[in-house]
Amino acid sequence: MLNFTTSLSYENWDEVFLEGEVNLIFNNFMNTYLRIFNGSFPIIIRKEHIKPSPWITSGIKISCATKRHLYVSNKFHKNPSQKAHYKNYCKLLSSVIKEAKKNAL
């Protein structure tokens, strides 16, 4: 932040205000401002190294996606039988995940 504000205060803004047309003034201002902004706050790409869990199988991934779909459909359609189906699916998926975690250890 300090580098950004210092760079802005030391910038010579004469070329911005020497123009007579509003669009050129705006473009000059934005070019100067963005040059200082991008120089002060560079984009840093960080890769997260997530260790994959051995118990997450493709079947569990598919079941979790199905559970999310059931949740969304249950959220918008207040059908009691759909809600019961969602709850049963959640219980079944939870037991499958617990068993998979137990077997992975």
The closest of 51, 67, 49 to 59, measured between CA atoms, is 67
Residue ranges per domain, the chain? 2-40, 58-104
Strands (E), 1-105: none
pLDDT of res. 61: 92
Q: How confident is the model at residue 24 (pLDDT cuts 50, 70, 90)?
A: confident
pLDDT tens by residue, 32-84? 888 888 888 888 888 877 777 888 889 999 999 999 999 999 888 888 999 99
The structure tokens listed for 31 are 């070019």
Rounded to whole angstroms, the Cα distance separating 28 from 32 reads 6
Rounded to whole angstroms, the Cα distance separating 48 from 56 reads 19
pLDDT of res. 42: 84
Which residues, 6 or more positions from 41, have their beta carbon under 8 angstroms from its beta carbon? 4
Q: What is the mean pLDDT of residues 10-32?
A: 82
Rounded to whole angstroms, the Cα distance separating 63 from 57 reads 10
Tokens 């068993």: give the residue.
99
pTM beyond 0.75: no
